Amino acid sequence: MTDTVRVAAVQQPPVFFDREATIERACELVETAGRQGADLVAFPESYVAGYPGYYTPGPAADADEQSAYLLALQESAVRVPQDVEPLAAAADDSDVVLVVGCNERDQRPGSETIYNTNLVFDSDGTLVGRHRKLVPTFTERLYWGRGDDTDVVFETDVGRVGTLICWENHMPLARAHALHQGETFHVCNWPGSWGTGERYLEAERSTDCDCYPAIREQAFSANAFVVSAHAVLDPADVPDRFHALFESECGSLEWACGGSCVVDPFGQYVAGPVFDDRTILYHDCDLEKRQLAAVEFDQPGHYSRDDVFDLQASNRDDVVSSPDSPTPLSDLTDEDVALVSDRLEEDPDRIREILGALADVREDRAYQ
């Protein structure tokens, strides 16, 4: 790892709801950033293949249009890792660490759930991390399931890269979990920039958007450089069949107006924010700034007070769509119950009763 790392925040539109075309565009943008000397490249939230929440179906929406939109989201979602192999190759070819947002399709048999996911590729193309947004924000719950993992910081060739998606950067425990793992860089991504209060979901082309205090605070608290990638999108980027949706009272592209920036470990803007422009924002990060910032405020170190506070994170590996996932309680066989019964010297019926109670608790917790 060198003393200076060039970061790049991509502020370019996807090919909306077209997975293959968006991945092809992303690869071209990675190549462009690589030619400009970038070491770390970050894309906006759910870049592949578009943030769906600019349109919110509901009672006022046309049922047929709503169904077509939801099906298009499903069909353009990615399967990991098979659909993202071109992104891995692009990271490898350009020798960059890559963080890209996507709509990820659950691969458990029978499931059609979509997750809002950030993928992290190392500079050799290895997929080193996948973070699913823990809580879809407000009406986003129409599109995405709740994330089921707590992996937020990953070891890469440019250092430890942490990532949180949109309003996860307002979640104190998620932010603390990231910064206490010693982030060198924190990548956050957003669907644009918006107003607050009565101006919620109107465009806000200034740092009055609620995202910017969170960006600066994470940089200062973690002694990290924050690379914040914000989406841009206008009607010309959307298929004709969806224009009526975004022109209705249920949709708006107004706040897909960018706002990408880079903030240093002192919490100061060193690049951007840039609004509206379709660009790639670059900054050369001097890693000595992290050391200087930590002299004053070392939250992962002398300011942590681990003797007073204890933060625990629980990975929900039981529901991650992975071939290595543990067997759900409901799938335990009679032979499994017999083994537990013998080991604990307990009646098999009592074991089944306990397992049933545990399964009920897990199901209740999933819907809380």
The predicted pLDDT at position 333 comes to: 78
Residue partners of 176: CB distance under 8 A and separation at least 6: 311
Rounded CA separation 28/35 (Å): 11
The predicted pLDDT at position 315 comes to: 60
Rounded CA separation 266/221 (Å): 9
Instruction: Provide, rounded to the nearest whole percent, the portion of the chain with pLDDT above 70.
Output: 91
The pair of three-digit structure tokens given for residue 44, joined into one six-digit string? 């906006």
The predicted pLDDT at position 149 comes to: 65
Give whole-number Cα distances, 235 to 50, 56, 73, 111, 240, in Å. 13, 16, 17, 32, 8
- How large is the average pLDDT for residues 89-106? 98
Q: Name the active-site residue from 45, 65, 168, 183.
A: 45
Determine whether 20 is an active site residue. Answer: no
Lowest-confidence range among 92-101, 262-271, 286-295, 314-323? Answer: 314-323
Strands 269-275 vs 258-263: parallel, antiparallel or unpaired: antiparallel
Determine whether 289 is an active site residue. Answer: no
The pLDDT confidence band at residue 30, using thresholds 50, 70 and 90, is very high
Does domain 4-296 fall under CATH 3.60.110.10? My reply is: yes
Question: Residue 257: pLDDT above 90?
Answer: yes
Highest mean pLDDT among 63-72, 262-271, 294-303, 316-325: 262-271
Q: Name the active-site residue from 65, 133, 257, 285.
A: 133
The pLDDT confidence band at residue 89, using thresholds 50, 70 and 90, is very high
Contact by Cβ (8 Å): 97, 115: no
Query: Which segments of the chain belong to CATH 3.60.110.10?
Result: 4-296
Lowest-confidence range among 5-14, 163-172, 340-349? Answer: 340-349
Question: Residue 167: pLDDT above 90?
Answer: yes
Q: Name the active-site residue from 27, 102, 166, 188.
A: 166
Q: What count of residues does the chain have? A: 368
